[in-house]
Amino acid sequence: MPEEDLSEFAIKVKMLFFGPLAEKLGEREIEVALMHGSSARDLIERFHFEPLLATGLRIAVDGEIGADLDAPLRDASEVAFLPPMSGG
């Protein structure tokens, strides 16, 4: 994915991808620029990941699975997209 011009944005956030999603995207990590006050839910909508939530995709914000997806992200936050857990 091309590098974004970050000059007009307030924060940079790292998106981390694991499992099949990383394989599908061909990336394990990307950095995106967001306006101050943006949330993980804004990222989900921006990248059209809403349907994946229904398949069990889990989201971790700054290492916390189950974090409030509507809470504002901070500069240098990490949002991880984790595959569904499988039983054993």
Q: Distance (Å, rounded) from C-alpha 74 to C-alpha 56?
A: 25
Tokens standing for 29?
A: 């990590």
- Here the CATH number for the domain that contains residue 57 is 3.10.20.30
Residue 88 lies in a domain: no
Number of domains composing the chain? 1
Residue 87 lies in a domain: no
Query: Which domain range does residue 60 map to?
Result: 11-74
Low-confidence ranges of the chain (pLDDT < 70): 1-9, 86-88
Residue 56 lies in a domain: yes
Residue 4 pLDDT: 59
Residue 2 lies in a domain: no
Mean per-residue pLDDT of the chain:
89
Residue 80 lies in a domain: no
Catalogue the E-assigned strands of 1-88. Answer: 11-17, 29-34, 58-61, 64-65, 78-82
Residue 6 lies in a domain: no
